[in-house]
Structure 1
Amino acid sequence: MGLKYQPDPNALMTLALYDLTQSNVATYNSAAGWFENSGKVRSKGVEAEAHATVFDNLNLIASYTYTDAETVNTTVVGTEGKTPARIPTHMASAFTSYTLPDGALKSLTAGVGVRYIGTSYGDAKNTFKVPAVDLYDAMVSYELGELNSSLKGAKVQFNVNNLANTKYVASCASDSACFYGIGRTVTATVNYAW
């Protein structure tokens, strides 16, 4: 079930409630050393998101997700009624960007954001948790048509994810098999729209 609300042309808010059941979910069986189809997982929760132009050329996007997940009808001993591994209860993000309206760098956009990934269980039996993490991102883009009218519609953009190069555990298969998340990544793109 969802709801959209647009109080004015510069703002949009959405809210979604969900109650889903997924069958044949792959669960790591640490005793056997492999993944197996374990039965069903039921997930209930809420997702909220807001987009707004706060001031001229200043944009804000924020989101929050709450998930209550439970393993049901499982074949893996000791996991029924437990929260599946790698599913954080809370996740949130916020991003803001500003576009220069005039001057030599007219249409230059810069933005920063933060992503919060809450704690999750590291295994299907919920014997340990993977810690929460905050990750910071940044971007800068420029409309090339501002330099030369023949480049109208072309845009160059640079993104940096995990700006602080935070070392964090993203997920685990067992208490002795955990995996680090992706470190700092820098991407450059050129887009053209006509």
Structure 2
Amino acid sequence: MFTGTVFDLKQQNVLTPDALDFRFNTQAGEARVRGLELEAKASLTDSLDIVASYAAMNSRFTKANANAAGVGIVGNELPFVPRQQASAWLDYTIRTGDWAGLGLGAGVRYIGVSVGDNANLYRTPVVTLVDAALRYDFGYRYPTLKGVDLALNATNLFDKTYVTTCIAATGCFYGNRQTILATLRYRW
């Protein structure tokens, strides 16, 4: 399956500096985001699936008040909107034999450059992260346990240190460290 979307979004009433008082903002701005999103899903074999996606976005302020110093942000990028994002995930499930019900997955996420403030002074660098999963569906081997599965998911598998947001010279924030989550669930 392959899907694609082209979009041109416009948002009104975006916060912009209040021309009368620099300490406040007013809902008088406008922003536009144009982009493309692509996604593909395929079963490469009976046991191996792949999911991949890509998004490219161009964001801009199209209307805004100037700040108290008379500096405007029209034409600047919107904060926290990556220019590009991509991901791919492979998932393998053993369907027969002694290990039937065991599944393994691994993937990579790419997050492109984004700005952290309306003035576009601060940028976050590109980051690529690796995730992984291990799961077992008890119903394959034990029919009475149909619907019970155990999963172990790891995000940022290699515990990469990265910055997600920079809103000021002293206001940068790190992304999530390695997270490993175990779940036991029953679906009926």
Deviation of 1:26 after TM superposition, in Å, equals 4.5
User: Is the partner of 2:144 in helix, strand or coil?
Assistant: helix
TM-score w.r.t. length of structure 2: 0.88
- What is the aligned partner in structure 1 of residue 14 from structure 2? 25
User: CA contact under 8 A between 1:38 and 1:74: conserved in structure 2?
Assistant: yes
Determine the C-alpha separation between the residues in 2 that align with 1:90 and 1:61. 17
The answer to which of 171-180 and 106-115 deviates more is 171-180
Q: Select 1:43's aligned residue among 13, 33, 45.
A: 33
Q: Select 1:72's aligned residue among 54, 62, 79.
A: 62
Amino acid at match of 1:175: A
- What is the aligned partner in structure 1 of residue 76 from structure 2? 82
Q: Select 2:139's aligned residue among 145, 148, 153.
A: 145
For structure 1, list consecutive stretches of 5 or more residues without a partner in the other structure.
Answer: 1-11
Amino acid at match of 2:6: L
- What is the aligned partner in structure 2 of residue 132 from structure 1? 126
Deviation of 1:34 after TM superposition, in Å, equals 7.2
Count of paired positions: 181
The yes-or-no answer on 1:100 pairing with 2:111 is no
User: CA contact under 8 A between 1:23 and 1:39: conserved in structure 2?
Assistant: yes
- What is the aligned partner in structure 1 of residue 52 from structure 2? 62
TM-score w.r.t. length of structure 1: 0.85
Q: Deviations over 1:19-67 (max 9, x none)?
A: 11122335799xx577764612100101000000012210000000010
**Aligned-pair identity (%):** 36
User: CA contact under 8 A between 2:16 and 2:65: conserved in structure 1?
Assistant: no
Residue 104 to residue 35, structure 1, CA distance change in 2 (3 Å): farther
User: CA contact under 8 A between 2:101 and 2:141: conserved in structure 1?
Assistant: no
- What is the aligned partner in structure 2 of residue 190 from structure 1? 184
Q: CA RMSD in A?
A: 2.1
User: CA contact under 8 A between 2:166 and 2:172: conserved in structure 1?
Assistant: yes
Amino acid at match of 1:133: V
Deviation of 1:176 after TM superposition, in Å, equals 2.0
